[in-house]
Amino acid sequence: MKKIIYLIVFACSLSFNSIQAQEKEGFRFDAMIMYGLGFGVADNSNETDYNFRTQEFNAVFNFDFGKLFGFGTGLGLSRLSGNGFNSSGDFFHRRTLLRIPVLLTMIHPVTEHFEFYANGGFFWEHISNDEFQYLNTTIEDLYEGSSIGAQFQIGLFINLPDHLDWGESRLGIIVGAQVSGEYDSLLNTQDLGDIYTTSVVYSYGF
């Protein structure tokens, strides 16, 4: 969690020094589709830690009220997969998580064609599917439940040219870090720890 806080403080100080904090005119609503890839480490209290990969798909709706900051929320789907071993043997682990974020967001012009983007906040996530595949058996729903996590993302948008634009459309790339909560099984507590992702974004403004 401390790493996320340090990232937020650093990015905010950097953005305020490089971007003039002027007010923007009027209300603006943006719908964003994000697809990302990342990696992390499953930190186990009574078993061996192991690495995993993640794929994320997020739909975020951003409300900009004419100031520097806005509000964002939406729905996300995250799929984790990785190989490891524990007291039962070698396994392949696959997990699907549903997520609802509550974010403080910032979209601000840097030049005529580029915009700076950042968000930070919290999310609720729920395990919808959990599967450990061993050589001769598969164990499902070893971990269940919900948790609260924190995230931060920062990136750059480019406004699409008029002949490619269907309105106020933008493409972007963002990098981020997040910390998920803990999940308990009968004999172990699992913390997904720090997860780092890189995402491509399509944004449409209304």
Residues 166-193 have pLDDT tens digits of 667 899 999 999 998 899 988 889 998 8
* CATH class for the region spanning 2-15+28-205: mainly beta
Say if pTM beats, i.e. exceeds, 0.75. Answer: yes
Determine the residue type at 56: E
Confidence of residue 76 (pLDDT cuts 50, 70, 90): very high
Please say whether the beta carbons of 59 and 73 come within 8 A.
no
Residue 67 burial by Cβ neighbours in a 10 Å radius (0-12, 13-18, 19+): exposed
Domain ranges for the chain, please list them: 2-15+28-205
Q: What is the pLDDT of residue 107?
A: 87
